Amino acid sequence: MALRILCILLAVSLLASPLAADHPEHARHAMVAAQEPLATDVGVAVLRAGGNAVDAAVAVAFALAVTHPSAGNLGGGGFLLLRLANGESTFLDFRERAPAKSTHDMYLGPGGKPTGDSITGWRAAGVPGTVSGLETAHRKFGSKPWAELVAPAARLARGFPISYAFAKSLESHAELLNRFPESKRIFLRNGKYYEPGEIFAQPELRRTLERIARGGAHEFYEGETARKLAEAMEANGGLITAGDLKSYRTVERKPLTGAYRGYSIITAPPPSSGGVGLLQMMGMLEGTNYQDNGAESAAAIHFVAEVMRRYYADRSEYLADPDFFRVPVSRLLDKKYIAARRSTIQPGKASTSAEIRAGNVALAESSETTHLSIVDEKGNAVALTYTINGGYGCGVTAPGLGFLLNNEMDDFAVKPGEPNMFGLVQGESNAIQPNKRPLSSMTPTILLKDGKLFMVVGAPGGSRIITGVLQVILNVIDFGMNVQDAIDAPRFHHQWMPDRLYLERGFSPDTIALLKARGHTVDSASSVANVEAVVVQPDGWLAGGSDRRAHGKAAGF
Ligand code: DON
């Protein structure tokens, strides 16, 4: 009898768990999920020493600039979303800005054709925001001395063992890095590529970090670092001047907020397109019971893909730097508008992107990035995504400074109506203007359940960030997966143009056939974002998930 009951209980518990579970990392007090293990360890050490989530985020971001230079950076920009344990939240926008000398057609050559200068070389870089953003975060919310948070990065710059993944990443970007002597010398050892296990020392970067540890953001924007950077720009035909650096400011913005199926969502406002995207797509999904079709079913994928298609059409038209363009956020998130968009979705048939235009919203109202998610012992949470855009940015290492520069200028509509590096077709709203911030897809997001912290999430992945973050959240909320399973599950992506449904590996041929039968043009995607997330479990434990598509680590104590 007892055995029978045991068997029944076992069967029930097996049925209750959706799939064979891949376990997240568990910790009682605090957790860091970041895309490079040494940097994760730096964050955990700061938290163990009593630092708060912002302290840890600052230290991890500086460390990633050393150990994960394809994306971690001093020469780029990003967004930091913070929710304090007392319930307040804020958003720091330290996105790069177009240099003052920028012009609408600066990347168009004869015949109006894009020259590629927005992607590679000195002219591709926007004015970096990272050091300003990290200092602002620390000044307002940090608790440990600044120098203590920069120190671990400077130490790592003395040398750390190269991982297999990093060695391969450098090798695969050799063509780009080879074009710029300082990058070739530092990252490719002038052609004698680093082997896994060798020690990688970056003395120029170490000195830059030590100066920043002493002089803060002032050193980066007005000190020796600024002077050297501006001089090198001038000597190499770049656009960033001493004046651009001096006038750079981090902007504190109000996060966007919304709700989905009883969860509160706190997310990134413009100049991110991500928060609007997330909330609009969730709005279209809510109440449809699409999830009853089951995770990874063709019917569910179809419905979510149609939702994605509709949002990206709006993105192309209505999203941009809010300081330059009146982004109609509340119209785009209006319940009636969303219901009207939803009503054009047919469960059995794909729309074509040609027939889906951006919705009619009256303008009446006023291939490398990285993400870290952190929760500290008190329940403060940070979601930070920052980037130099492409892997190793524009390829240029600032001479004598040791850090790579971004190619964020390509996130503008270099030629409105034509696809950018991520195939995104964008409109005049996101055209280049001096001092403007290019539209971003970065989507650092925090979820609450019953007013309490539930999830911290975000990702790199270009235009696929928004859909990647969406799917991980849906996997947790709608399909009951643990955070690691939610991240591991195969993902898909649709961005309106090109009219393609991109699928990662892992969907069954039967599912793909059903999607094709509905009229989708299916294509393969090597990956749809790399997600780092932390979930607060009902028992109070923290569960950390780190994307197996990348080489990061979740850890805590
Ligand atoms: O801000 C953006 O949307 C892009 N610059 C992000 C680039 C990115 O995620 C590339 N990484 N894979």
Given a cut of 80, whether residue 1 has pLDDT beyond it is: no
Residues composing the chain: 557
Distance from the Cα of residue 305 to its chain's centroid: 20
Distance 367 CA to ligand 1 centre (A): 6
Rounded mean pLDDT of 466-480? 98
- CATH superfamily membership of 254-368+442-556: Gamma-glutamyltranspeptidase, small (S) subunit (3.60.20.40)
Instruction: Assign 67 a pLDDT band (cuts: 50, 70, 90).
Output: very high
| Count of beta carbons in the 10 Å neighbourhood of residue 19 | 14
Distance 513 CA to ligand 1 centre (A): 31
- State how far the Cα of 395 lies from the Cα of 407, in Å rounded to an integer: 8
- State how far the Cα of 442 lies from the Cα of 275, in Å rounded to an integer: 9
- The position carrying tokens 């001479």 is 399
Q: pLDDT by residue (tens digit) across 312-340?
A: 999 999 999 999 999 999 999 999 999 99
300-314, 410-424, 445-459: which has the minimum mean pLDDT? 410-424
Give nearest CA residue, ligand 1 atom 11: 368
* Nearest atom in ligand 1 to 95's CA: 1
Q: pLDDT by residue (tens digit) across 427-455?
A: 999 999 999 999 999 999 999 999 999 99
Instruction: Assign 4 a pLDDT band (cuts: 50, 70, 90).
Output: low
Q: pLDDT by residue (tens digit) across 139-177?
A: 999 999 999 999 999 999 999 999 999 999 999 999 999
* Nearest atom in ligand 1 to 441's CA: 3
Q: Which of 196, 154, 230, 547 is nearest to 398 (CA)?
A: 230
Rounded mean pLDDT of 348-356? 94
Give nearest CA residue, ligand 1 atom 6: 462
Q: Of all helices (H) and strands (E), which one includes residue 313?
A: helix 298-318
Give nearest CA residue, ligand 1 atom 1: 440
Indicate which residues carry an active-site annotation: 369
Cβ-based neighbours of 323, under 8 Å, separated by 6 or more? 251, 436, 437
CB 129 within 8 A of CB 92: no
The CA dihedral of 108, 110, 113, 119, to the nearest 10 degrees, is -50
- State how far the Cα of 269 lies from the Cα of 78, in Å rounded to an integer: 12
- State how far the Cα of 80 lies from the Cα of 82, in Å rounded to an integer: 6
Rounded mean pLDDT of 261-286? 98
**Best substitution site from 95, 172, 276, 369 to test ligand 1's pocket, by max atoms within 8 Å of Cβ?**
369
User: Which pLDDT score, from 0 to 100, does residue 178 have?
Assistant: 98
Q: Which of 27, 119, 50 is nearest to 394 (CA)?
A: 119
Look up residue 175 and give its amino acid.
E
Distance 325 CA to ligand 1 centre (A): 21
User: Which pLDDT score, from 0 to 100, does residue 22 have?
Assistant: 83
* Nearest atom in ligand 1 to 438's CA: 1
Distance 61 CA to ligand 1 centre (A): 16
Given a cut of 70, whether residue 15 has pLDDT beyond it is: no
Given a cut of 60, whether residue 495 has pLDDT beyond it is: yes
Distance 534 CA to ligand 1 centre (A): 21
Q: Which DSSP category does 162 fall into?
A: P
Give nearest CA residue, ligand 1 atom 8: 462
| Count of beta carbons in the 10 Å neighbourhood of residue 50 | 11
What value does the mean pLDDT of the chain take? 95
Q: Can you give the pTM of this predicted structure?
A: 0.95
Handedness of CA 21, 44, 251, 436 (dihedral sign): negative
Cβ-based neighbours of 295, under 8 Å, separated by 6 or more? 18, 475, 478, 479, 481, 489
Residues with beta carbon inside 6 Å of ligand 1? 367-369, 387, 389, 408, 411, 440-442, 460-462, 465
Distance from the Cα of residue 482 to its chain's centroid: 21
CB 367 within 8 A of CB 120: no
Q: What is the DSSP string of 513-556?
A: HHHHHTT--EEE-S-S---EEEEE-TTS-EEEEE-TTTT-EEEE
User: Which pLDDT score, from 0 to 100, does residue 3 have?
Assistant: 53
The residue extents of the domains of the chain are 55-252+391-425, 254-368+442-556
Instruction: Assign 368 a pLDDT band (cuts: 50, 70, 90).
Output: confident
- For the chain, give the percent of residues with pLDDT over 70: 95
**What six digits make up the tokens of 379?**
């329940």
Give nearest CA residue, ligand 1 atom 5: 389
- State how far the Cα of 56 lies from the Cα of 66, in Å rounded to an integer: 16
- State how far the Cα of 29 lies from the Cα of 375, in Å rounded to an integer: 8
User: Which pLDDT score, from 0 to 100, does residue 359 have?
Assistant: 80
Distance 432 CA to ligand 1 centre (A): 17
User: Which pLDDT score, from 0 to 100, does residue 413 have?
Assistant: 95
- State how far the Cα of 338 lies from the Cα of 381, in Å rounded to an integer: 30
* Nearest atom in ligand 1 to 460's CA: 9
Rounded mean pLDDT of 355-372? 74
Distance 442 CA to ligand 1 centre (A): 7
**Best substitution site from 94, 388, 409, 442 to test ligand 1's pocket, by max atoms within 8 Å of Cβ?**
442
Q: pLDDT by residue (tens digit) across 275-299?
A: 999 999 999 999 999 999 999 999 9
Rama region for 450: left / alpha / beta (φ>0; ψ in -120 to 50; rest): left
Instruction: Assign 2 a pLDDT band (cuts: 50, 70, 90).
Output: low
**What six digits make up the tokens of 461?**
């992945």
Rama region for 100: left / alpha / beta (φ>0; ψ in -120 to 50; rest): alpha
Give nearest CA residue, ligand 1 atom 2: 440
Q: pLDDT by residue (tens digit) across 202-212?
A: 999 999 999 99
* Nearest atom in ligand 1 to 273's CA: 3
Rounded mean pLDDT of 340-365? 85
- For the chain, give the percent of residues with pLDDT over 90: 92
**Stronger pLDDT, 12 or 377, i.e. the higher one:** 377
**What six digits make up the tokens of 398?**
């600032």
Instruction: Assign 21 a pLDDT band (cuts: 50, 70, 90).
Output: confident
